Structure 1
Amino acid sequence: MRINIEIGDIEAFIELTETNSFAKAATNLNLSQPALSRRIQKLEHELGTKLFDRTTRKVQLSYSGRNFYERARSIIEAIKTATKTLNEKYSFPSIIKIGAVNSALSNIIYPALKIFREMEPRCKVQIIERSSNYVVDSVLGGECDFGINFTGIQEPGISFENLFIEDYVVVFPKGDVLERKRKIKLSDIKNRDFISVWKGSGSRIYFENALALQKEDLDWTYEVRHIPSALNMVEQGLGITLAPKLAVSKDHKLLSYRPLIDPTVTRTMGLIKRSGKELSYDSQKLYDLLKEKFKR
Structure 2
Amino acid sequence: MVDFEWYRSFISIYKHRSVSEAAKTRLMTQPAMSQHLAALEAELGEKLFTRTTRKMVPTEKGKELYTQVVPLIEALEETTQKFKMDTSLTIPMVKIGTAHEYFRENLAPHLGKFPFRINATFGIASDILELLIEEKLDMIIMSKKMPAPGIEYIHYVQEEFVLVAPYHFKEIDIEDTERFEAWLCSQDWISYGSDLPIIRRFWREHFKKRPHMQIKHVLPDLHSILTAIEHGEGISALPSYMLEKSLHNQHVKIIYPSFRVSNELYLAYHIKFRNFPMIKSVSEALKKNICNSHDKM
TM over 0.5: yes
Structure 2 residues not aligned, in runs of 5+: 1-69
CA 1:114–1:228: 2 relative to 1, 3 Å = same
Tell me how far 1:289 sits from its aligned partner: 0.3
Q: 1:267 aligns with which of 252, 257, 263?
A: 263
CA 1:175–1:99: 2 relative to 1, 3 Å = same
Task: Please say if 1:138 is aligned against 2:131.
Answer: yes
Query: What is aligned with 1:96?
Result: 94
CA 1:89–1:179: 2 relative to 1, 3 Å = farther
Query: What is aligned with 1:291?
Result: 287
For the pair shown, which has the larger CA radius of gyration, 1 or 2?
A: 1
Code of the aligned partner of 1:288: E
Question: Any idea what SS the aligned residue of 1:217 has?
Answer: coil
- Once residues 96 and 203 of structure 2 are traced to their aligned partners in structure 1, the CA distance between those partners, rounded to angstroms, is 28
CA 1:261–1:133: 2 relative to 1, 3 Å = farther
- Once residues 257 and 214 of structure 2 are traced to their aligned partners in structure 1, the CA distance between those partners, rounded to angstroms, is 16
Tell me how far 1:201 sits from its aligned partner: 7.6
- Once residues 275 and 221 of structure 2 are traced to their aligned partners in structure 1, the CA distance between those partners, rounded to angstroms, is 30
* Paired positions, count: 217
Task: Please say if 1:173 is aligned against 2:170.
Answer: no
Code of the aligned partner of 1:221: K
CA offset digits 1:20-62 (Å, max 9, x no partner): xxxxxxxxxxxxxxxxxxxxxxxxxxxxxxxxxxxxxxxxxxx
Query: What is aligned with 2:191?
Result: 196
Superposed, which structure 2 residues align to 1:206-221 within 5 Å?
A: 206-207=201-202, 210=205, 213-221=208-216
CA 1:80–1:130: 2 relative to 1, 3 Å = closer
Superposed, which structure 2 residues align to 1:34-113 within 5 Å?
A: 85=82, 88-92=86-90, 94-113=92-111
- Once residues 196 and 140 of structure 2 are traced to their aligned partners in structure 1, the CA distance between those partners, rounded to angstroms, is 17
Moved more, 158-167 or 80-89: 80-89
- Once residues 128 and 240 of structure 2 are traced to their aligned partners in structure 1, the CA distance between those partners, rounded to angstroms, is 20
- Once residues 88 and 281 of structure 1 are traced to their aligned partners in structure 2, the CA distance between those partners, rounded to angstroms, is 11
CA offset digits 1:222-248 (Å, max 9, x no partner): 112222221121122111111222343
CA offset digits 1:53-80 (Å, max 9, x no partner): xxxxxxxxxxxxxxxxxxxx99xx8999
- Once residues 80 and 186 of structure 1 are traced to their aligned partners in structure 2, the CA distance between those partners, rounded to angstroms, is 56
Cα root mean square deviation, aligned: 4.2
CA 1:199–1:275: 2 relative to 1, 3 Å = farther
Task: Please say if 1:156 is aligned against 2:148.
Answer: yes
Task: Please say if 1:277 is aligned against 2:273.
Answer: yes
- Once residues 164 and 242 of structure 2 are traced to their aligned partners in structure 1, the CA distance between those partners, rounded to angstroms, is 10
Structure 1 residues not aligned, in runs of 5+: 1-72
- Once residues 240 and 102 of structure 1 are traced to their aligned partners in structure 2, the CA distance between those partners, rounded to angstroms, is 21
